[in-house]
Amino acid sequence: MTNVCKLIRTPLSLMCILTRHFSSQEDSMPVAHVALPVPLPRTFDYLLPDSMSAKAGCRVTVPFGKQQRIGIVVSVSDKSELPLNELKAVAEVLDSEPVFSTSTWRLLLWAADYYHHPIGDVLFHALPVMLRQGKSASHAPLWYWFATEEGQAVDINSLKRSQKQQQALAALRQGKIWRHQVDELEVSETALQALRKKGLSELASEAPALYDWRDSFSVSGDRLRLNTEQATAVGAIHSASDHFSAWLLAGVTGSGKTEVYLSVLENVLAQGKQALVMVPEIGLTPQTIARFRERFNAPVEVLHSGLNDSERLSAWLKAKNGEAAIVIGTRSSLFTPFKNLGVIVIDEEHDSSYKQQEGWRYHARDLAVYRAHSEQIPIILGSATPALETLHNVRQRKYHMLRLTRRAGNARPAIQHVLDLKGQQVQAGLAPALITRMRQHLQAGNQVILFLNRRGFAPALLCHDCGWIAECPRCDHYYTFHQAQRHLRCHHCDSQRPVPRQCPSCGSTHIVPVGLGTEQLEEALKPFFPDVPLSRIDRDTTSRKGALEQQLAEVHRGGARILIGTQMLAKGHHFPDVTLVALLDVDGALFSADFRSAERFAQLYTQVAGRAGRAGKQGEVVLQTHHPEHPLLQTLLHKGYDAFAEQALAERQTMQLPPWTSHVIIRAEDHNNQQAPLFLQQLRNLLQASPLVDNPLWILGPVPALAPKRGGRFRWQILLQHPSRIRLQHIVSGALVLINTLPEARKVKWVLDVDPIEG
């Protein structure tokens, strides 16, 4: 969304919903236009009885088919497109005030329009699960026991037949007892209930008092001294703190970007305002939380998918009520309501995790820029490897650039080596020269990271006699062999099956794993380094709640000397004792049909390399490849990421690829590989014949998707490209109207991906 600031406008589809030409009907009962979590781009009309009152953004219970569903009021008027006597009535209004803040509400309406996604799905996506289920949108009341007037007056000896009731009443006469304190005060809940039946005690509740952190806000005294570049960045952002401004904080790995964030937040919190800090992965939150909690005497809340439903709701409510000073979260934390938001920070802004790839395919970074503009606050986009779209926005003077060119403290740039694997006797994916370097660094008391972006034991299982390969029947992909669980798993649809005892094709029992995964690498390293503790960090070893935090803590204590990991290790982690980083298998990333693959690899390599030598020790980076002469590698090794980005932007301009143009993908899926391409071809024919289409529009397809089969469905797509983002939006709106005229549309599952980052 490179022109996000120019696209701040009233949503087209929602204006149709909110300002439609209603039929003239005389009836005094209001009509609530309600969004429901269904895949339909419309609202549903319900009568609002005189005894009820609802505002836009409030939740209601409504009859829908044979069920009662939770909905969200989008607007209230006195008219409907349907006769009022055909409308059903709202069953219950759940909220007296909207559950969304004004700015969040505005953001969601705009986003539903920009991404052409059903408004009900968008609104419900932004709510915690418990609110979607109809739970209260306020903190749970605090319950307490107290003695009634009769309980205060009664002779306590009249309860002599029950010593526990005597003890309970005596305690109540001293003052109310909070229900959560009953056990620690050794008061019997059963006795309290018995006293209640006698009219001697009663149970009551009150709303919890809100904690105002502003009264006691302070900063710890162990702040690091900012260098000149950091101080300049903080000063520039602070000078624009009273209005919208977008800042790209481009700092080399280890340059102290987090210290800039902390200093900016210090100024914001001192004004009594709140802050939202977004990170791309759950794995980055533990160390980020620790840094922020150590610095500020103020509540820091966390929002990510690893929390249970009640924890998410609690953090959400604290942000909404102003009790949370800082919220640190992943993608969906963007929709958190704040009482007084003062700044948004997007760490590792280039990371593809900010783009939702299922359902509502929004990009959290781009929507964060819109939200900052809407709230008239600054936003900081931090990265050592900025996205090309972000750099383009800097060139267009929509964002300001702040550079951190020096590593913080005494850290020195890592020494880089390329190991040519041609002709090498590679063992467990390691060239002999790499094993030698590992021993040198480990003997010096340091740690080593081995990066392999392939989890499991092996990426395929093969019959050595006939060549059969275990392939997922639901996808165009091989099963990955997981030795620890002794099963095969598809990493695309997550289907699983046991490892066969013999080949289903020829009956041979000579079935062998092919290729290298992190699980196999861990096992293969033990004979080389039998006395060195290893730690494997990937999705398989960190799926249990708290497992990642435990492993990272072990690494920081020095308990693990060799770290084996996937891209989870590449993102922002600070390991002060790591002096050697090795990328074991990069050749696959050098030859891809996706035009974004070079950018992704450049970012990944730079980020992984940045884990080495971060605390004054000399770092070393080793890259293993069969293609050391590849132009991309040569550019990264000898000129760095900035030079690559300049070159890549020039190439994309020549090829008229994003960010110089805008893309929308319309993807369709079916079970027989016939209806999807037919539907897309029909849509293409209608588009080409439509007056909506102008010459700069380029339509590619229908063609198979990069993953042509997934989860038992065949996937086809057409790509729409246009140099004008606004013009493309109008064309897509017209395409949606055309889709509704096609009978084939009801025979396929189709989705729309605006600003796609994957083919």
Spatial separation of the C-alpha atoms in residues 357 and 748, rounded to whole Å: 19
One DSSP character per residue, 240-286 reads: TTTS-EEEEEEE-TTS-HHHHHHHHHHHHHHTT-EEEEE-SSGGGHH
As given in the structure block, the two tokens for residue 294 are 């150590």
At 664, phi and psi to the nearest 5?
-135, 130
As given in the structure block, the two tokens for residue 54 are 């609802």
Vertex 348: Cα angle to 344 and 350 (nearest 5): 105
Task: Cite the annotated binding site for Zn(2+) by residue number.
Answer: 463, 466, 472, 475, 490, 493, 503, 506
Q: Are 67 and 38 in contact (CB under 8 A)?
A: no
Spatial separation of the C-alpha atoms in residues 693 and 181, rounded to whole Å: 69
Q: Are 203 and 143 in contact (CB under 8 A)?
A: yes
319's enclosing H/E stretch is: helix 309-321
| 460-463 vs 496-498, strand pairing mode | unpaired
What Rg, from alpha-carbon coordinates, does the chain have?
A: 30
Q: Are 670 and 747 in contact (CB under 8 A)?
A: yes
Measured CA to CA in angstroms, residue 330 lies from 35, 268, 334, 367 at distances of: 26, 21, 8, 13
Q: 488 - beta bridge partners?
A: 481, 497
| 713-722 vs 245-251, strand pairing mode | unpaired
Spatial separation of the C-alpha atoms in residues 539 and 449, rounded to whole Å: 17
Q: Are 145 and 179 in contact (CB under 8 A)?
A: yes
Q: DSSP letter at 330?
A: -
As given in the structure block, the two tokens for residue 740 are 């509704």
565's enclosing H/E stretch is: strand 562-565
Q: Are 613 and 572 in contact (CB under 8 A)?
A: no
Q: Is 403 left (phi over 0), alpha (psi -120 to 50) or beta?
A: beta
| 460-463 vs 511-514, strand pairing mode | antiparallel
Q: Which residue has the tokens 């922002």?
A: 572
Task: Cite the annotated binding site by residue number.
Answer: 463, 466, 472, 475, 490, 493, 503, 506
Spatial separation of the C-alpha atoms in residues 525 and 531, rounded to whole Å: 11
Q: Are 40 and 88 in contact (CB under 8 A)?
A: no
Q: Are 383 and 260 in contact (CB under 8 A)?
A: no
